[in-house]
Amino acid sequence: MSYKDKIDSMRGELRAMNKLIPEQMRGFSAMEKAVTDGGVLDKKQKEWIALGMAMVTRCEPCINFHVAALMRAGGTREELGDICAMAIQMGGGPGMMYAGHALACWDELAAAQG
């Protein structure tokens, strides 16, 4: 399954969650918006942090969403490389494996953008 397909599939699962527990999902969404839009760091810097955390916690759906968000925020493949390096340093071998997922996701999404 392609990374785009994985992202689309996860979005479908989240839509189902929205129908089942709408109030809780709205609460999470409000918190996410407040964190993303507020504070002194810009969106790209926040995506650097979120992506590194996703790699170290081994959450592939989070990696996929945050790679796409980093791209939308103007991130570069070179910045992704630094994020991967930090995740490897902090997460050891497992961090390295999930950093590989992040890089593969980036390359696939970038190729699709043309």
Q: Where does the pLDDT of residue 79 fall: very low under 50, low under 70, confident under 90, or very high at 90 and above? A: very high
Q: How far is CA 99 from CA 56, 74, 88, 91, in A?
A: 8, 19, 7, 10
The residue type found at 36 is T
Kindly report, residue by residue over 49-58, the tens digit of the pLDDT.
Answer: 999 999 999 9
Structure tokens given for 88: 């490897």
Q: Where does the pLDDT of residue 114 fall: very low under 50, low under 70, confident under 90, or very high at 90 and above? A: confident
Average pLDDT over residues 86-107: 92
Q: What predicted TM-score, i.e. pTM, was given to this entire model?
A: 0.88
Domain boundaries, the chain: 3-113
Quote the pLDDT of residue 52: 95
Phi-psi category of residue 88: left, alpha or beta, with phi > 0 → left and psi -120 to 50 → alpha: alpha
Structure tokens given for 101: 């997922």
Q: In CATH, what number does 3-113 get?
A: 1.20.1290.10
User: How far is C-alpha 35 from the geometric centre of its chain's CA atoms?
Assistant: 15
